[in-house]
Amino acid sequence: MRVLIIGGGGREHAIARKVSQSKKVDKLYCAPGNAGIAGCAECVDIAVSDFTGLADFAVKERIDLTVVGPDDPLVGGVVDVFEQRGLRVFGPRKNAAIIEGSKAFSKDLMKKYNIPSAAYETFESSKDAIEYLKSSKYPIVLKADGLALGKGVLICNSYEEAVNGVKQIMEDKQFGSAGDRLVIEEFMTGREVSVLAFCDGTRVLPMTSAQDHKRAKDNDQGLNTGGMGTFSPSPFYTKEVDEFCRKMVYQPTMDAMKAEGRDFIGILFVGLMLTKDGPKVLEYNARFGDPETQVVLPRMKNDIVDVFEACIDGKLNSIKLEFEDNAAVCVVLASEGYPEHYEKGFAIKGLEAFDGKEDYFVFHAGTKQSGNEILTNGGRVLGITATGKDLKEARKKAYEATGWIDFANKYMRNDIGKAIDEA
């Protein structure tokens, strides 16, 4: 088989590594890829937003399967473009990817089909939103309706803070057109857990659990980011929680999307809050999580190409997912100043330390090749992942491995997986 992966971040590196292990795959491409992905795939300089260029390439190179990584092209309809050209592609169509593309849509869906989630209201004018805030309980959560690179959520502890947040999102357009509509949601407390699930339009097959760390600084301080690290499995995602979510969240979401004429084929990412009143949905995404993928896929035993094909063919009932009886921790090495202002172009040293080490992985996110050097080229630069017999061992190994890498303005959180000490 000839396979194309669309994207160029840490998530796509983890997908590429897993796809490259498939016995079915003869040739692997990635567009646009990055310096690390180039080690297991041929990188092609086509932007993820160039749907026509990507489809033309897939036709020309006789690509048998295309896997879409990021949210933007999915929400923009890249799958529809590929299917119109008769190309086989893994990911939800535009009318299904709206589950991530519009938080108002997903909240309305949950409300209509009784899927447990936080109470909310949706606003199209800042004046109405600010009026509503006068009678709200605090803290409260503001969510830009559209895509915002994982950063469009503000937790506000007071009326004044919330008013400023509304103005940032709806008037100052801090997140662009994503803030044309605003969801204001009750603040939920509890443990956060992420579950990625394969979907074939009718059935849903959850993978092992993970837990992300969104805030930029230790002890969950600082701004929201795309994710500063993660671990898998979550010790808080018990068998009882899993059974509840399969019955009350995962399958009902599939059924709801089908009932709305939006059959969901691809990866459904469910962000959960384990509250005192039971699990509730924080958010849906329509693709693999980043950096959750960097700890989930290294633990997966299955040939991932078999699973992709079963989803596309509506035959997910033929798949039994299997994961190693181990644990994984990923620590993101970022550029100082991320997610706001940071410098790029610094040489990365120490990557060769990972060569030949089975339990250690370095996933490239924001990197580029320049001559014989690999340079920083983004806010999140590398995801350092290690596996171990349990979470404590995996965490110790992951932090050990962060010391093998050096680049100017290197920054990381020092408390990824700290919650496991409380489990």
146-168: pLDDT as tens digits:
988 767 888 999 999 999 999 99
What pLDDT score does 271 carry?
96
- Phi, psi for 53 (deg, rounded to 5): -60, -40
What pLDDT score does 223 carry?
86
Taking alpha carbons only, the member of 12, 5, 1 closest to residue 363 is 12
- The per-residue pLDDT for range 227-249, each reduced to its tens digit, is 999 999 999 999 999 999 999 99
What pLDDT score does 152 carry?
85
Judge whether residue 422 has pLDDT over 90: no
What pLDDT score does 423 carry?
59
- The per-residue pLDDT for range 326-341, each reduced to its tens digit, is 999 999 999 999 999 9
Q: Give the orientation angle of helix 10-20 with respect to helix 304-312, to 10 degrees.
A: 100
Compute CA distances 38 → 17, 31, 103, 194, 343, whole Å: 10, 10, 35, 29, 23
Instruction: Give dist(CA 337, CA 396) in Å, integer.
Output: 25
| Domains of the chain listed by start with CATH number | 2-93 (3.40.50.20), 119-186 (3.30.1490.20), 191-318 (3.30.470.20), 327-422 (3.90.600.10)
Helix H or strand E segment including 369: strand 367-370
Judge whether residue 56 has pLDDT over 80: yes
